[in-house]
Chains A and B, each alone.
Chain A
């Protein structure tokens, strides 16, 4: 039996004196897509940042892709984590292609793979357009192209469906399926529960920083 990709045990996060996450326990198996729901300010994004190893827990233990949180081990597994944040991680003065080429160069992936990824998300015709002249939907598509390019083992999607029309929303399902089929895992935050339910295997809910198991 393969080991879990994520284990959190009693993880709490305190920021500016306030407890944002309380005693979180979570286990995510390979091939699993987990939906994370909750109201604004409930701690969803904070939990995603902990899973992305970008935020150290104040207490508790856990592992992500086998690396212990709050240890230097996370540096080796970070390139296997993909994060699509609420705000696109794009340089606005560069073109969509240049942004993807930059990621490809830093990851040691050929530029042609970046062009392919843009084509896969339907942006090949707009690849030479500067990000500042792109719509929010195009920027989100470019973010998904970045995920296809880096092919993460753990994919974290914050507000996955924001800015995407129903047709483009299929991208979320497509990228999720790609990652889980490879034995990776996906954690998907969305306010659009109906759209998310069809993609995920399991749902969890956060209320006031505490995790509550729910069913799809």
Chain B
């Protein structure tokens, strides 16, 4: 199963590299979203500093949904059938898609985070902690998106239903991520929020693996 996960993970990333959906479309639009707010508010540095981190997480959630739902992540029925007949476990497909989504979402978060620092100049006491907060949050969002894609895999349902599923399930992730960032701004402890991120990620990973087969057969 690990071999199948590795093969499919590489195929997902190669597919995205060719399609450029994240790098050429979603990332630039996300940056525009971050750029629009300072243009509307003007050079109110204290206000931008205050709202910057929150806006970053909102942009990550909204555009992260698009990353998870990108066309290259979704398999046509015939490709799903082919993988099933090749003996690929649905849980392996979930893991590969979620891992690829995590990588792409982390890429998005790094670019968006850099732009946020440049435009909003938030005061973060120890930015190195972001190296743990970002991947954990991105992994959670990628798993939520992958599960939502599987749940809404019927034709036409993805674009309308998936965001409705993703947003509420993402609340604990975003709450923990936002509170951890706020803790860094206030030089307070963030370990409990990191722990919450880890727990939610583990729950999502278990949910994804355990529901992969029933969702496929439903």
- Chain A residues with CB under 8 Å of chain B are 52, 54, 56, 75, 78-79, 81-83, 85-91, 93-94, 98, 102-103, 105-107, 130, 146, 150
Closest to A84 in B: B78
A103 touches B18 (CB 8 A): no
Give chain B nearest CB distance to A195 CB in angstroms. Answer: 22
The reply to whether A93 and B18 contact each other, CB–CB distance below 8 Å, is yes
- Interface pair A93/B79, CB less than 8 Å apart: no
Contact, CB under 8 Å: B81 / A89? yes
Tell me if B192 counts as interface (CB < 8 A to partner A): no
Chain B residues within an 8 Å CB radius of A106:
4, 7-8, 83, 86-88
Q: Considering only CB atoms, which chain B residue lies closest to A107 in the complex?
A: B86
Q: Tell whether A105 pairs with B7 under 8 Å between CB atoms, given A89-B76, A94-B15.
A: yes
Q: Please count the residue pairs between chain A and chain B whose beta carbons lie under 8 angstroms apart in the complex.
A: 62
Contact check, A54 vs B18: say whether CB atoms are below 8 A apart.
Answer: no
Q: B residues within 8 A CB of A98? A: 14
In the complex, whether B149 has a CB less than 8 A from a CB of chain A is no
Interface flags for B78-95 (1: CB within 8 Å of A; 0: not) read 110111111110000000
Q: List 19 A-B contacts (CB under 8 A).
A: A54-B84, A56-B217, A79-B85, A79-B87, A85-B77, A87-B76, A89-B81, A91-B11, A91-B15, A93-B18, A93-B72, A94-B14, A94-B15, A98-B14, A103-B82, A105-B7, A106-B8, A106-B83, A130-B18
Q: Is B19 an interface residue (CB 8 A)?
A: yes
Bound-complex Cα distance A66 to B19 (A):
42
Contact with A along B59-102 (1 / 0, CB 8 A): 00000000000001000111101111111100000000000000
Q: Is B7 a contact of A89 with CB atoms below 8 Å?
A: no
Secondary structure call for the B interface: helix
What is B's interface to A at a CB cutoff of 8 Å?
A: 4, 7-8, 11, 14-15, 18-19, 72, 76-79, 81-88, 217
Which of B7, B19, B78, B86 contacts A93 (CB under 8 A)?
B19
CA distance A91 to B11 in the complex (A): 9
Report the Cα distance A134→B194, complex, angstroms: 48
* Closest A residue, CB atoms, query B16: A93
**CB <8 Å contact, B11 and A87:** no
For the complex, what is the distance from the CA of A103 to the CA of B81, rounded to whole Å?
Answer: 13
The interface centre, meaning the residue of A87, A98, A105 with most chain B CB atoms within 10 A of its CB, is A105
Q: How far, in whole Å, are A50 and B18 apart by their CA atoms in the complex?
A: 35
Q: Which residues of A contact B18 (CB under 8 A)?
A: 93-94, 130
- Provided the pairs A52-B81, A91-B79 are in contact, do residues A150 and B14 lie with their beta carbons within 8 angstroms? no
Q: Which 8 A-B pairs have the closest CB atoms?
A: A93-B18, A89-B78, A89-B82, A85-B78, A79-B87, A87-B78, A89-B79, A93-B19
Contact between B87 and A85, CB atoms less than 8 A apart: no
Known: A103-B86, A105-B7, A106-B7. A83 touches B14 (CB 8 A): no
Are A54's CB and B81's CB within 8 A?
A: yes
A85, B81: Cα distance in complex, Å: 9
